[in-house]
């Protein structure tokens, strides 16, 4: 997916706005159709196999579209680097966020890493599982393509028009998963009623229609603040995240991922029976 997007998008930023937008949309649609067709072909080939074998192979294929282990490792690496030195923490954080990290202090580094953890929990785990539950492997594959396209093209500046379609498509596909992620994070934390009430208000503080939901949920559940300097402060009355908060957040993210995975497994297992019932 990355190679395809890198190749077809190489000259998009150089195009005139209208041309860049149309080509960006055409390239996105062509790529989505391609990965969807490949995933559908895999799914069709699995149908004649014994059920147990089809489930195992489907799980292997689906795992390639998820990134929980990598996400947790990258976030853990930030805390480990920060323990070494402030500069190491900044450099490690720059691997997982797009903002400037050169002026961040230790607290801001932790806040940024936890924001990335919660946002990418939705993008890398919950969303692909959600679309898999609805449309099987093609749903998960097309979502992963959309999310990759947004990560590579969905920026302001030179990519304003070439990446606009990709950015909007990613917004639409994440509308429900982002909110599911927030709800699951609050559930696994056994959050107080005040956290549930404050979630919509805090989520609205970010410019993104989706990323604010899981970030706000994590902030409220742990009663910590999560800030992007000069842009927003989620749960601004909360305390600065500590090393212990960092570890709790990681555990809860993993619990949330597994909880949603089990829910999807149950639903997809009984879906044929439900349709026939």
Element of type H or E holding 228: strand 226-228
What's the pLDDT tens digit per position in 5-29?
999 999 999 999 999 999 999 999 9
What is the pLDDT, as a whole number, of residue 48?
Answer: 93
Helix 164-188 with 127-153: angle, nearest 10 deg: 140
> 226 - beta bridge partners?
234
pLDDT tens-place string over residues 79-93: 999 999 999 999 999
- pTM reported for the whole predicted model: 0.93
Give the pLDDT confidence score for residue 271 in this predicted structure.
63
Contact 180, 260 (CB under 8 A): yes
Residue numbers in the chain where pLDDT is lower than 50: 273-277
User: Which structure tokens are listed for 129?
Assistant: 């599982």
Say if CB 139 and CB 197 are below 8 A apart. no
């Amino acid at each position: 997916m990355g190679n395809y997007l890198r190749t077809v998008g190489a000259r998009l930023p150089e195009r005139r706005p209208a041309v860049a937008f149309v080509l960006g949309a055409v390239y996105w649609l062509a790529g989505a159709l391609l990965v969807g067709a490949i995933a559908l072909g895999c799914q069709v080939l699995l149908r004649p196999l014994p059920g147990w074998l089809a489930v195992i192979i489907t799980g292997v294929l689906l795992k390639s579209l998820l990134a929980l282990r990598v996400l947790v490792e990258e976030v853990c690496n930030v805390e480990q680097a920060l323990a070494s030195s402030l500069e190491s923490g900044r450099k490690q954080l720059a691997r997982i966020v797009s903002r400037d990290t050169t002026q961040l202090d230790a607290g801001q580094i932790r806040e940024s890493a936890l924001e990335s953890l919660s946002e990418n929990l939705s993008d890398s785990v919950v969303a692909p599982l959600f679309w898999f539950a609805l449309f099987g492997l093609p749903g998960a594959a097309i979502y992963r393509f959309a999310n990759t396209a947004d990560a590579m093209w969905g920026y302001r500046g030179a990519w304003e028009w070439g990446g606009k379609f990709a950015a909007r498509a990613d917004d639409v596909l994440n509308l429900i998963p982002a909110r599911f992620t927030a709800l699951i994070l609050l559930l696994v934390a056994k959050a107080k009623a005040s956290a549930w009430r404050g979630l919509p208000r805090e989520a609205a503080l970010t410019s993104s229609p989706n990323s604010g939901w899981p970030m706000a949920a994590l902030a409220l559940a742990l009663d910590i603040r999560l800030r992007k300097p000069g842009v927003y402060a989620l749960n601004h009355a909360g305390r600065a995240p500590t090393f212990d908060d960092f570890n709790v957040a990681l555990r809860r993210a993993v619990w949330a991922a597994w909880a949603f995975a089990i829910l999807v497994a149950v639903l997809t297992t009984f879906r044929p029976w439900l349709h026939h019932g």
